[in-house]
A and B are shown apart, each in its own frame.
Chain A
Amino acid sequence: MKEEILNLLKKDARLAPSEIADRLATDVETVAGIIDECEKSKTIYGYCALVNEEAFDKPPVRALIEVSVQPERDDGFDNIARKISKFSQVSDVMLVSGNYDLQLIVVGDSLQDIAGFVSGKLAPMNGVTSTRTHFMLKKYKECGFTAEDEEDYERLSVTP
């Protein structure tokens, strides 16, 4: 039940506990209790909307940054990843396998803003050995949702 509720919220965080209860054929108290428990335990650690920022008057600039770091003896990558996460410009931090270690998404008002963050804050950090910045040009899909609808094809309205 918990995973079913979490999967529904991942698809639509605005679903009310009563709607979730109807969909899963259970009662609203059970659903509300599980959601509450997940929020307290940080299994659910936030809710946000997926927004097409092109609609903004001044769309923000995003960059995907590959970061190589020197892991620490006791903490591995965790300590430096947490430090990087604290910057308000950084929206996503992931440890990944491959040619680099951390993958960040950084948001700024302009290219210069992000360039300044990388050269002034990120690259000089103790433990960061290299960075590579890719500016995002267009987003097509995020969290399973596409920014544009597939063209509707009209179905017959009544079929046996």
Chain B
Amino acid sequence: MSNNGQSKWLATHIAALPRSGIRDFFELVSEMDDVISLGVGEPDFATPWGIREATIYALEKGHTNYTSNLGLMRLREVACDYVAANFGMRYHAAAECIITVGVSEALDLILRAILDPGDEVVYHEPCYVSYAPSIQMAHAVPVAVQTVESEAFALEPGRLEQAITKKTKAILLNFPNNPTGANLSFEQKEQVAQVAVRHDLLVITDEIYAELTWGEACQSIAAFPGMRERTIFLHGMSKAYAMTGFRIGYACGPPELIEAMMKIHQYSMLCASIVAQEAAIEALRNGRADMEAMKEEYCQRRNVIVKRLNDMGLRCTPPEGAFYVYPNITCTGLTSTEFAHRLLREHKVAVVPGIAFSSAGDGFIRCSYATSMENIEEAMARLAKFIAK
């Protein structure tokens, strides 16, 4: 059944997909005890109790059925109100919003809804590991534009424009960014928006970290002139509300695109879990104080980790958002994979090699500060010993 370790039944485009670099590293880490992990891309907080309690109540009331393919109308309404209040775009709950199983599903839906074989999607690296594979699984071509440390990992509009060809259909954005923590300024977003309008492209904007910003408040590119009709805004509950396991995301955008996404969702996923949707309603209605408290804690951890890294000589751009730092490790002379493997073996600290997020990521590692202050201090002490060697 196998040919070069692969089943002959596999589709060519799936066989060609690389395994996530994180996967191998995860298996290595999971074989070791007492590791302090800065490798986790999810909050270390449990979901706030008020949200958990509302989830239990939903179960008690017997809310255990399918929902509309688009999601519970009550959730779409509160989500659209939340987007209007926090981002400035007003979407119609009935036709311009769909509830999905995390932002990951929403991204997959919009890519499959718009892409024909051979179409190109321009995205920026370093980025979340699924972007290029998701584009490839939709039979399209991912085109990476590198963001660089000297520009604080912001997307440079000139370089973006150079990557656009006649085959380009969409631009995929993720700011605040995983893994760099970068955000775009108002002017930078405006310039990226102008590029999209000039080339008549759709913009897919993954704003899952939008609440977790340490400088300017979140400003969606969808709110810029000429953008609402050409933007799919992706957001969800996972990061700011510590609800990763609930798997609730949502997409807002033009009705014909939401309708197309709904068709795929209807035939593949059917609907997101009703219990998780009830939890999301509670979070969006009453979860802000808990969210703000977690945000304050992340901000303090960010200040500490940035200071410790820079003090030990690992140059680290202060992140504008999310809960990651992306320090430069070139002074060690190690590749990011060597660095991460040796740090794990010699000092039992897990970080993710930059190469997992970008072909040009070798001079960097990603450290997540979604872990306790105590863990951060201990990990930084061990890292400093490693660097000093």
Q: Select from chain B the residue with minimum beta-carbon distance to A8.
A: B300
Q: Is the CB of B30 within 8 A of A22?
A: no
- Residue interface mask A132-151, B partner, CB < 8 A = 1: 00000000000000000010
Min distance, Cβ B273 to any Cβ of chain A, angstroms = 19
Q: Is A153 in the interface zone, CB < 8 Å from B? A: yes
The segment from B37-45, B53-61, B144-152, B222-230 found at the interface with A is: B37-45
Of B22, B37, B44, B350, which one neighbours A160 at CB under 8 angstroms?
B22
Chain B residues whose CB sits within 8 angstroms of the CB of A157 once the complex forms? 26, 29-30, 35, 37, 39-40, 350
Of A23, A153, A158, which one neighbours B303 at CB under 8 angstroms?
A23
Question: Among residues 329 to 365 in chain B, which have CB atoms less than 8 Å away from a CB atom of chain A?
Answer: 350, 352, 356
Taken together as a complex, chains A and B put the C-alpha atoms of A8 and B373 apart, in Å, by 13
Q: Is the CB of A159 within 8 A of B40?
A: yes
For chain B, give the interface size range: 20 to 34
Taken together as a complex, chains A and B put the C-alpha atoms of A159 and B22 apart, in Å, by 7
Min distance, Cβ B134 to any Cβ of chain A, angstroms = 12
Question: Among residues 19 to 68 in chain B, which have CB atoms less than 8 Å away from a CB atom of chain A?
Answer: 20, 22, 25-26, 29-30, 35, 37, 39-42, 44, 46
Q: Is the CB of B304 within 8 A of A158?
A: no
Min distance, Cβ A10 to any Cβ of chain B, angstroms = 12
Q: Is the CB of B26 within 8 A of A158?
A: yes
Chain B residues whose CB sits within 8 angstroms of the CB of A73 once the complex forms? none
Of A24, A153, A159, which one neighbours B46 at CB under 8 angstroms?
A153
Q: Is B83 in the interface zone, CB < 8 Å from A? A: no
Q: Is A96 in the interface zone, CB < 8 Å from B? A: no
Q: Is the CB of A156 within 8 A of B303?
A: no
Chain B residues whose CB sits within 8 angstroms of the CB of A22 once the complex forms? 303-304, 307-308
Given A150-B46, A153-B46, A158 contacting B300 (CB threshold 8 A): no
Taken together as a complex, chains A and B put the C-alpha atoms of A159 and B308 apart, in Å, by 23
Chain A residues whose CB sits within 8 angstroms of the CB of B301 once the complex forms? 23
Q: Is the CB of B25 within 8 A of A158?
A: yes
Q: Select from chain B the residue with minimum beta-carbon distance to A26.
A: B303
Min distance, Cβ B268 to any Cβ of chain A, angstroms = 22
Of A8, A25, A150, A156, which one neighbours B26 at CB under 8 angstroms?
A156
Given A23-B300, A24-B300, A158 contacting B352 (CB threshold 8 A): yes
Q: Is the CB of B129 within 8 A of A158?
A: no
Taken together as a complex, chains A and B put the C-alpha atoms of A23 and B303 apart, in Å, by 5
Question: Among residues 19 to 54 in chain A, which have CB atoms less than 8 Å away from a CB atom of chain B?
Answer: 22-25
Q: Is the CB of A155 within 8 A of B44?
A: yes
Q: Is the CB of B39 within 8 A of A23?
A: no
Interface of A is mostly: loop
Q: Is B128 in the interface zone, CB < 8 Å from A? A: yes
Q: Is B86 in the interface zone, CB < 8 Å from A? A: no
Taken together as a complex, chains A and B put the C-alpha atoms of A155 and B352 apart, in Å, by 16
Q: Select from chain A the residue with minimum beta-carbon distance to B308.
A: A22
Taken together as a complex, chains A and B put the C-alpha atoms of A86 and B129 apart, in Å, by 64
Min distance, Cβ B76 to any Cβ of chain A, angstroms = 28
Q: Is the CB of B130 within 8 A of A23?
A: no
Chain A residues whose CB sits within 8 angstroms of the CB of B41 once the complex forms? 159-160
Q: Is the CB of B46 within 8 A of A158?
A: no
Q: Is the CB of A25 within 8 A of B42?
A: no
- Residue interface mask B288-320, A partner, CB < 8 A = 1: 000000000000110110011000000000000
Taken together as a complex, chains A and B put the C-alpha atoms of A49 and B86 apart, in Å, by 40
Question: Among residues 244 to 282 in chain B, which have CB atoms less than 8 Å away from a CB atom of chain A?
Answer: none
Chain A residues whose CB sits within 8 angstroms of the CB of B129 once the complex forms? 160
Min distance, Cβ A108 to any Cβ of chain B, angstroms = 34
Question: Among residues 100 to 148 in chain A, which have CB atoms less than 8 Å away from a CB atom of chain B?
Answer: none
Q: Is the CB of A155 within 8 A of B42?
A: yes
- Residue interface mask B168-187, A partner, CB < 8 A = 1: 00000000001000000000
Q: Select from chain A the residue with minimum beta-carbon distance to B20.
A: A160
| 21 CB < 8 A contacts A-B | A8-B300, A22-B304, A22-B307, A22-B308, A23-B304, A155-B40, A155-B42, A156-B26, A157-B26, A157-B35, A157-B40, A158-B22, A158-B29, A158-B39, A158-B40, A159-B40, A159-B42, A160-B20, A160-B130, A160-B178, A160-B352
* Extra 18 A-B pairs, beta carbons < 8 Å, given A157-B29, A159-B42: A22-B307, A22-B308, A23-B303, A24-B303, A25-B307, A155-B40, A155-B42, A155-B44, A156-B40, A157-B37, A157-B40, A158-B30, A158-B352, A159-B22, A159-B40, A159-B41, A160-B41, A160-B129
Chain A residues packing against B (C-beta within 8 Å): 8, 22-25, 150, 153, 155-160
**3 tightest A-B CB contacts, nearest first:** A158-B39, A23-B300, A158-B26
